[in-house]
Amino acid sequence: MASVPPSQAASAPAAIRPYAESRPRAARTMWGDAWRRFRRHRLAMAGATVFLVLSAATVIGPVVYRVGINTIDFHASMAPPSAAHPFGTNDLGQDMLARVLYGGRLSIAVGITAMLMSVTVGTLMGAMAGFFGRTTDLLLMRVTDVFLSLPSLPLLLLVIYLYRDTLARLFGPQFGIFWLIVVVIGGLNWMPTARLVRAGFLAVKEKEFIEAARSLGVGTLSQIFRHILPNVLSPVIVSATLSVGSAIIAESTLSFLGLGFPPDTPTWGRLLYDSQNYLDMAPHMALFPGLMICLAVLSVNYVGDGLRDALDPRRLP
């Protein structure tokens, strides 16, 4: 019985037990601290809000705003923004707001799924290279180097152009192309994450607590995922956030070059592609989808910036 019994502690003089009377505080965790620091980053909070509002609008929007994306009305061709069409109409008289909302769903979905894909691949590659070392490390890092030297934009264009018809035939025009785009963008973007994770693993696996875990007989998988991975997660989260933005840009680039989703699927990049020939008569056709891309990417990048500061343990509150 080393601890002081409660009755004895309560009877001690007030002056030497200042903590007993203060309110019990919730334990401070690393994630709690990070959240507190993140909240103080005004631009990051603004970015998070904007991105959530945008995502919510694209998910709920088409349900609430019931205007068909393919309703053609030649009388209202290229109409500027008005009460009936808040974002105006395109050359076929289709409502731009409906198309922007619907397209945003796809653009944001591609961004997030491609990010998940690249982070998963990158983390697995980096973790294996860093944990097992030796030949595995050499081999995987060689693969990473080759991928880093691949010219990504030409390859992206090439693969999508060559394979999209087959995949569209096999899995349906939207579903097949969605996964093709996600896999190709994710498959060409995992290298920075792999390097970050590998560096983290190399540093953490030499620490005493891993040695302790190993001597207690903790299995390999558990060592990797339970003990080491959580400690190298911060830079991965930051790079994952930023890669959502770059994936949205990559998808828009493809669609803008006419090599993304099929023409009747209005992603943001596709809407910009369609607007190119009408810039003089209907600039709103380019402005609204373009602004959406910028808002989405900018807000994600600000969130990443805020997370970088918030998750850096060297920055004490």
Partner 1 sequence: MTGYIARRLLASIPTLVLISVVVFGILALAPGDPLGQFAANPDVPPEVRMNIRHQLGLDQPIPVRYVKWATAFIHGDWGYSFSSRVPVDRLILQRLPTDLWVVGSSYLVAVALAIPIGVLSAVKQYSIFDQVATTFAFIGFSLPTFFTGLLFIIVFSVRLRWLPFIYNVQVTDPLGMVKQAVMPVGVLALFNSASLMRYVRSSMLDHVGQDYVRTARAKGVVQRKVVVRHVLRNSLIPVVTLLALGLPAVFVGAVITEQIFRVPGIGSLLIASIQNSDTPVVMAITFVYAILVVLFNIVADVLYGFLDPRIRYG
Binding positions for partner 1, rule: CB under 8 A: 145-146, 149-155, 157-159, 161-163, 165-166, 245, 249, 252-253, 256-259, 269, 272, 275-276, 279-280, 283, 286-287, 290, 293-294, 297-298, 301-302, 305
Q: How far is the CB of 93 from partner 1 (least distance, A)?
A: 21
Residue 199 or 257 with smaller CB distance to partner 1: 257
As measured in angstroms, the least distance from the Cβ of 162 to partner 1 is 4
Do 240 and 193 contact (CB within 8 A), yes or no?
yes
Q: Which residue, 160 or 204, has its beta carbon nearer to partner 1?
A: 160
Q: Give the whole-angstrom CA distance, residue 269 versus residue 164.
A: 17
| 8 Å CB contact between 305 and 45 | no
CA distances for 237 relative to 27, 35, 98, 240, 283, angstroms: 23, 13, 33, 5, 37
CB of 294 to partner 1, least distance (A): 6
Return the number of the residue (131 or 302) whose C-beta is nearest partner 1.
302
One-letter amino acid identity for 267? Answer: T
Q: Write down the least CB distance from residue 142 to partner 1, Å.
A: 8
Residue pair 122/192 in contact (Cβ under 8 Å)? The answer is yes
For residues 145 and 264, which CB has a smaller minimum distance to partner 1 in the complex?
145
Nearer to partner 1, 44 or 210 (CB): 44
As a whole number of angstroms, the distance between CA 130 and CA 126 comes to 6
Q: What is the CA radius of gyration of the chain?
A: 26
What is the four-CA torsion angle of 79, 85, 90, 93, rounded to 10 degrees?
Answer: -80
**What residues are paired with 95 via a beta bridge?**
89
Nearest residue to 34 (alpha-carbon basis) of 46, 25, 44, 24: 44
Helices (H) and strands (E) in the chain, counts: 14, 0
Find the shortest distance in angstroms from Cβ 92 to partner 1.
Answer: 20
Q: Could you tell me the smallest distance in angstroms from the CB atom of residue 256 to partner 1?
A: 5
Quick one: 87 or 302, whose CB is closer to partner 1? 302
Complex with partner 1: residue 204 or 297, whichever CB lies closer: 297
Q: To the nearest whole angstrom, how small is the minimum distance from the Cβ of residue 279 to partner 1?
A: 6
Classify residue 293 by burial, with Cβ atoms within 10 Å: 0-12, 13-18, 19+. buried
State in angstroms the smallest separation of the CB of 248 from partner 1: 9
Q: Which is nearer to partner 1, 95 or 251 (CB)?
A: 251
Phi-psi map region of 203: left, alpha, beta (phi>0 left; psi -120 to 50 alpha): alpha
